Amino acid sequence: MELNIRGRSALVTGASQGIGKEIASGLAREGVNVALLARNREKLEATARALQAEHDVSFECLAADVTDAESIQRALATLANKQAFGTLNILVHNAGVPATRPDSQLFWQDSEWREVIEVKTLGALRLARAALPMMAKDGSGRIINITGATGVAVLKPGLLHGAANAALMQATGYLASELASQRITVNAIVPGLVATENRRKWLQGIAANGGRAPEETLAALCKDLGIALGRWAQMSEVADLVAFLASDRASYITGAKIPVDGGLTLNMRGR
């Protein structure tokens, strides 16, 4: 399927690694110029170099914090001066706080609760607010929020991740309605378990603790979680949907919350 998005521009948050990097790569493969946003500049620049070696489009690195409105404003002001990015067609909010601890989030500190919501939910709103003046109003404007299955069903220990994702899905619908008059579509992608670098390390840890091979551990985990397809997602399976939603092929899709979870939320069993 020809997506016809060559020459458009995108900003992807949380783009230094994991799903965000893959989203940036997937858009670049379609000829989109991509601004990569995350806090750690060195890591961002290393990611941009790696992507530039593979794709003949423009990459910009924006070292910024989505919890800080001024930091976002500065990043966007820098971007607005770059030739390929004066108008922004595609805004992907993917940054999130990884769930690195298995303990009950009910007993987390307020500051830890706030961080999850500040990055995922309020980060998306800050970004949309700041980027809107730069966004294309010709029907090519796209806002795509990466949420997560914890926002649809209970998946322990993701109490705060679930609340932040559910709130972002609600906000996605709201923004879809509000921005329709500016011909901007707003959608959410809802991944399940995705084979990121961090998730691979997490799996190695569980496998080592259980004295089983990672493949065997993963198969048992997928069964335990009730993932109908019996496997986790490749990052490209999320990135491909971003590219499709970013294209004119998806021009009539707005306010949607689309799972990429192998059936996880069809049959959520919790853990």
| Binding footprint of ligand NAP on the chain (CB under 6 A) | 13-14, 16-20, 38-40, 43, 65-67, 94-96, 98, 119-120, 146, 148, 191, 193-194, 196, 198-199
Beta bridge partners of 142: 90, 185
Question: Of 39 and 249, which has the nearer Cβ to ligand NAP?
Answer: 39
The structure tokens listed for 258 are 């689309």
CA gap 165, 152 in Å, rounded: 8
The structure tokens listed for 11 are 């900003």
Question: Of 18 and 226, which has the nearer Cβ to ligand NAP?
Answer: 18
Angle at 241 between CA 237 and CA 247, to 5 degrees: 145
> b or e along 136-152 (b: 16 or more beta carbons within 10 Å of the residue's beta carbon)?
beeebbbbbbbbbbbbb
State in angstroms the smallest separation of the CB of 119 from ligand NAP.
5
Containing H/E element for 72? helix 69-80
CA gap 179, 137 in Å, rounded: 10
Question: Of 135 and 164, which has the nearer Cβ to ligand NAP?
Answer: 164
Question: Of 179 and 235, which has the nearer Cβ to ligand NAP?
Answer: 235
CA gap 17, 29 in Å, rounded: 17
The structure tokens listed for 221 are 């985990």
Question: Of 141 and 162, which has the nearer Cβ to ligand NAP?
Answer: 162
* Residue 213 near residue 207, CB atoms below 8 Å: yes
* Residue 10 near residue 32, CB atoms below 8 Å: yes
State in angstroms the smallest separation of the CB of 50 from ligand NAP.
13
- Residue of closest CB approach to ligand NAP: 18
Question: Of 94 and 140, which has the nearer Cβ to ligand NAP?
Answer: 94
CA gap 130, 8 in Å, rounded: 19
Question: Of 17 and 87, which has the nearer Cβ to ligand NAP?
Answer: 17
Provide DSSP, 6-49.
Answer: TT-EEEEETTTSHHHHHHHHHHHHTT-EEEEEES-HHHHHHHHH
State in angstroms the smallest separation of the CB of 149 from ligand NAP.
6
State in angstroms the smallest separation of the CB of 9 from ligand NAP.
19
State in angstroms the smallest separation of the CB of 220 from ligand NAP.
17
